[in-house]
């Protein structure tokens, strides 16, 4: 949680002028290469943000990246590994997550498919989602965190906050596994995710490959 808090902290005053400017970073290029390897060649734009990462539904090709996310590149390997089942921690993980939002916002009809709704739910559900810290913290404090069996059914604690977040988190993991089923199963075994979470991530991988 300390690292999640650090990556969502206010942007330093000396960098606030970067708000809205084109975000350039080798990790962005690497994620785009991973997408291209799966056949996704949709043009996406990235800008730095000083008030959180995200994508607006009516501008799905523009991804905002919170500048302070770069702090996570100093996080210990063990912390990064543990974060896999909590929420996107690093810049790479955040980009993968936001790509999931961007691509689905660009093709909203895909969220109406029966298979999508069976696995992720109805994205029209009221979006009462707080910050990552609030959502993850609430599930730890009130529901026992990852010790609660209910969270075996989703990729992460944050995924449980809304169908849109379930899907974006599934895309995050699918991209990390390069869309490979065996790699997805290995990720699930390592991080204690259950069968339904595997089905969600497999679905996201197949969806990316058919995009």
State residue 66's pLDDT score.
97
Task: Answer for the pair 14, 59: CB distance below 8 angstroms, yes or no.
Answer: no
Q: Which residues of the chain have pLDDT under 70?
A: none
**What is the bridge-based pairing of β-strands 45-49 and 59-66?**
parallel
The pLDDT tens digits for 100-154 are: 999 999 999 999 999 999 999 999 999 989 999 999 999 999 999 999 999 999 9
State residue 142's pLDDT score.
93
Distance CA 98, CA 113 (A): 21
State residue 78's pLDDT score.
95
What predicted TM-score, i.e. pTM, was given to this entire model? 0.96
Distance CA 108, CA 114 (A): 13
116 in helix, strand or coil? helix
State residue 17's pLDDT score.
96
Total length of the chain: 211
The pLDDT tens digits for 136-149 are: 999 999 999 999 99
């Amino acid at each position: 949680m300390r690292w999640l808090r650090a990556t969502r902290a206010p942007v330093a005053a000396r960098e606030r002028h970067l708000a809205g400017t084109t975000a350039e970073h080798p990790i962005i290029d690497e994620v785009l290469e991973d997408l291209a390897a799966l056949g996704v060649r949709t043009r996406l734009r990235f800008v730095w943000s000083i008030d959180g990462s995200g994508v607006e539904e009516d501008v799905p090709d523009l991804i905002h990246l919170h500048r302070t996310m770069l702090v996570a590149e100093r996080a210990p390997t063990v912390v990064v590994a543990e974060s896999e089942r909590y929420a996107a921690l690093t810049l790479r993980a955040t980009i993968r997550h936001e790509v999931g939002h961007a691509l689905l916002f660009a093709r909203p009809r895909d969220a109406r498919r029966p298979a999508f709704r069976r696995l992720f739910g109805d994205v029209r559900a009221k979006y009462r989602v707080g910050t990552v810290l609030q959502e993850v913290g609430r599930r730890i404090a009130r529901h026992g965190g990852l010790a609660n069996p209910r969270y075996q059914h989703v990729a992460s604690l944050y995924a449980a906050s809304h169908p849109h977040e379930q899907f974006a988190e599934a895309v995050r993991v699918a991209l990390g596994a390069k869309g490979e089923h065996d790699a997805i199963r290995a990720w699930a075994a390592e991080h204690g995710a259950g069968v339904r979470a595997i089905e969600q991530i497999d679905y996201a991988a197949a969806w990316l490959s058919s995009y």
